[in-house]
Chain A
Amino acid sequence: MTDSSAPIWIDPIDSQFPEKPGREAVTNSFLSHQVTWDETTRFTPKMYPVGRLRYYYKWPGHGGRLWSRLRYWPTRRRVLNIHGDYNLKTMRREKTIVDKRPIWWALALAALFTMPLFVPEGFRNTVMSAASVFAIYAAINLCWMLIVGTAGIFSLATYAVVGAAAYGATYLAIMLGLPWWVLPFAGTLIGLVFGVMIALPAMRLDGFYYALLTLGVVELCRVFVVQSRQLGSATGGLYGAPSYLPDGLSQSNRLLFSYYASVLLMIFALFIYRFIDGKRLGRLLRMAQEKKEGFAQACGVDFIRARIMVFLASSAALGFIGGFYAIHFGGASPNLFSFDTLLLSLAMLVIGGIGRAEGAVLGTLIVVFIDRVLIDLGPLRYVLIGTIMLSVALFLRGGLFGIKDQFRTWRDKKKSERRATRAEKGGEMLPEEATEMEDKDQVYFRRFDKMQRDFLKRLVSDAVIAEHQSRPLGQHSEALERLLIYFRRQGQIDKYAILVLEEFKAYRIVALSGHRGTAPRVVEDRNYETPDQAYHALFLRRVQDLLET
């Protein structure tokens, strides 16, 4: 017997009659029943080396050195939040910087401070004045972010506060002859008063009602300023505020000086943001998120008071910035109140992501760069800004700085989808069916049965069928025997049987009902003349049923 493509099976019973040659039949080559198990349980999805499995090497950290930390004197607050841990894969000690934002901020501020060194000479005027405008607008947007993000008051009247403070401070400076350093403080007072005035409706109104109302306030300010003769309707703005620049500076030094002053203003706004958003008021308001106000109130958080406090504090800061605006530009223009300014600064907020200081600064950087540096594009630059804003609103949930979170959420969704498809594959029962099933043995039995049938399907071949046809009863080759054992083991319901119509003359295939007293049903309208023919026809039927499942 050779291990050829079609091996020969010899009936072992015939060894008891050595005088005769044994009965031989062509059969399948051996197939281990293990193959289906191996195939079913193999892990087939293609895996990429990404995800949360930390098998890579991060940052070495000795346990002892972990505790020598840089702290802000005299507090115990750490400069960097460093977390020591063991790598789950390598079991090596390593360190992770939990929050890398201080590093990015330090790098960004260093870049801002050294930026004038790297500006090409040809664009110096444009870029430096744009950079001052960027720093001032970033300061305004940081305060606005406090109102919109932290306090959750959707106020559009930010520029109205800034403009009112700038106009008021300039007017006072012209009337009373105030020195330049008084103007920001005068602006603070005006901003506070203005803030109280527009905060009053905020206690009654919420959400979009307030947004639309403040939109109206901005329009009202614009029309008032454009038409009032005292506020310079004729000259297109009120000018004549004293400048903070020392006398006798050259043109480029003036630009440099005003740039650094504006950057200092931005850092001041960053501090205000940090000390309102990150301290008590911010924590209180983080608890009273949108649609969870009731819960916060029940816990004893007076969120309306906290909101108004944040609103007033940022209004005062906006007033300060307004005063600075006046001494920076030498006055105020009605442009501060225009719908376009409002739109552009909303674009700044939205592009970076609402509720983050870095979002306000980056959004301002992008928009001011497009608006002030790419002047050659003409009106198309607004189209560009609008397109960016539209695509951010359509595709991103939290602006540019929300991309990371959004990507992680998306990746987790995809992962769980994949996991769901994988889980379904092994079992016959779908997951929801399996949870409904009371007898959990059934779940495993059906899974086993499916694997067994998958294996048996591969055993069906012409050789096996021919072997069965030659002798339906008696000893069989291994493949055929496995098939027959499986067929015989099935339950009584709808099991095929042979009905003897007339012995040695007529046989017929029927299907048992499986219930006592219910007659079997006739399967086909055909009689077989010998029992062997009937056995074989029945076998073929079962094979066909097996292949169909």
Chain B
Amino acid sequence: MNWGFIITNAITLACIYGTLAIGISVTWSSLGLINMAYGFIFALSGYGAWLASVYIAPNPAVVMVAGILTGAAGGLIVCLLAFIPIHDKPNFQLRALIATLAISLVGNQILLWWFGPRAKSLPRLFGNWNADIFGIVVTSDKLGASLSAIVLLTMILLWMRSSRRGLEIRAMMMNPHAASIVGIGVRRTGIYVMALTGSLAGLASVLLAQTYYVAPFSGITPMIKGLSIALVGGLGSIPGAIIGAIMLGVNEALTSSLLGGQYVLITQFLLIIIVLLIRPRGISGILDKAREA
């Protein structure tokens, strides 16, 4: 039993899934939109990063920036198609869910049609070396992925705490109706939020590229994991998403080393169901009712 391996694995997975979960959570709480096209944005930004690595330079910075920018562009596409036209129409939440699912269907098939079914691989972003931290050997990949996820997430969270736009987004998360009354544009904020969460998906895509590769349908499993983490943490709560990410990361690392890789999803969903049966709104979801309007 190699505890160091389990812990580093858990931390890496928690970082990457947490990035996805925060993206989903922020979208839901500020716009009332469950972004089912998140997997498509994930796959799209993977392809963006791959194109950059082939046609520009296989430089880690270039690849990462390309992935993040493509992700933001994907988020904008989803926003323009599924949020702006119907955000004030009746039955918005269900229609937006269906619209994002449709975007995911169309987008994934276009990716398949354009790039073919073969998976592409990105260059190793963080080189090929090992670090020894307190006697635990950590590969460069894991260290780099966790560090860059943590750094970028911290930057984004600081930006949301301190900037004007972040204030707008947080106001929308608290009470969208009141936010629109005090003059925060719903559509404008929607565009910021979707670009931001899209770029988070792009970041996760680049970081996860060593595990899932870049394929037309590679985004679905990460999206479902991100959704379940956001669900366990309580939709709309960033600390909850982080706690959920750590929980599921630990669970995944523990299960795959103790029981075997094929039982990961089973234990994960048992865990989720148990948590949700105890706390129906997730770990830190204190809201009595689901977000309305």
Contacts and interface: CB of A to CB of B under 8 A. Distances in A.
Contacts of B200: none
A204 B265 CA distance: 22
Nearest to B230: A212
B99 A394 contact: yes
Nearest to B32: A208
A217 B103 CA distance: 22
Contacts of A344: 105
Contacts, number: 118
Contacts of A339: 217, 220
Nearest to A205: B280
B262 to A, nearest CB: 4
B34 A208 contact: yes
Contact of B290 (A209, A340, A379, A387): A209
Interface of A: 154, 200-201, 204-209, 211-213, 215-217, 219-220, 223-224, 227, 339-340, 343-344, 346-347, 350, 354, 378-380, 382-383, 385-387, 389-390, 392-394, 397
B265 A347 contact: no
A383 B224 contact: no
14 contacts: A206-B290, A212-B228, A213-B276, A215-B224, A216-B227, A219-B265, A343-B101, A343-B105, A380-B113, A382-B105, A389-B105, A390-B82, A390-B103, A392-B98
Nearest to B34: A208
A382 B109 contact: yes
Given A215-B227, A224-B265, A344-B105, 16 more contacts: A204-B280, A209-B276, A211-B97, A213-B272, A216-B224, A217-B269, A220-B265, A339-B220, A350-B98, A380-B113, A386-B103, A387-B106, A390-B102, A393-B86, A393-B102, A397-B90
A213 B290 contact: no
B44 interface: no
Interface of B: 34, 81-82, 85-86, 89-91, 93-99, 101-106, 109-110, 112-113, 217, 220-221, 224, 227-228, 231, 235, 262, 265-266, 269, 272-273, 276-277, 280-282, 290
Nearest to B273: A201
A212 B227 contact: yes
A394 B95 contact: yes
B263 to A, nearest CB: 9
Given A343-B104, A386-B105, A397-B91, A213 B99 contact: no
A389 B101 contact: yes
Nearest to B270: A220
A549 B102 CA distance: 57
Contacts of B280: 204-206, 209
Given A212-B228, A389-B102, A394-B86, A220 B276 contact: no
Nearest to B111: A379
Given A209-B231, A390-B99, A390-B102, A204 B290 contact: no
Nearest to A198: B273
B228 to A, nearest CB: 5
Nearest to B224: A219
Q: With a 10 A CB-CB cut-off, give which of B97, B105, B109 has the most chain A CB atoms.
A: B105
B110 A213 contact: no
Contacts of B276: 201, 204-205, 209, 213
Nearest to B112: A379
Given A223-B265, A383-B110, A393-B95, A216 B102 contact: no
A346 to B, nearest CB: 6
Contacts of B220: 339
A354 B95 CA distance: 11
Contacts of B82: 390, 393-394
Nearest to B217: A339
A224 B227 CA distance: 19
Nearest to B96: A393
Contacts of A220: 265-266, 269
A206 B110 CA distance: 34
Contacts of B290: 206-209
Nearest to A378: B113
B65 to A, nearest CB: 29
A295 to B, nearest CB: 15
Contacts of B99: 390, 393-394
B98 A389 contact: yes
Given A209-B290, A219-B224, A382-B109, A347 B102 contact: yes
Contacts of A383: 105-106, 109-110, 113
Instruction: Please name the 7 residue pairs, one residue from A and one from B, whose CB atoms are nearest each other, closest first.
Output: A386-B106, A386-B105, A390-B102, A389-B102, A382-B109, A393-B99, A227-B262
B231 A212 contact: yes
Contacts of A212: 34, 227-228, 231
Contacts of B265: 219-220, 223-224
B235 A390 contact: no
B109 A208 contact: no
A359 B105 CA distance: 21
Contact of A219 (B101, B221, B235): B221
A417 B94 CA distance: 29
A342 to B, nearest CB: 9
A346 B113 contact: no
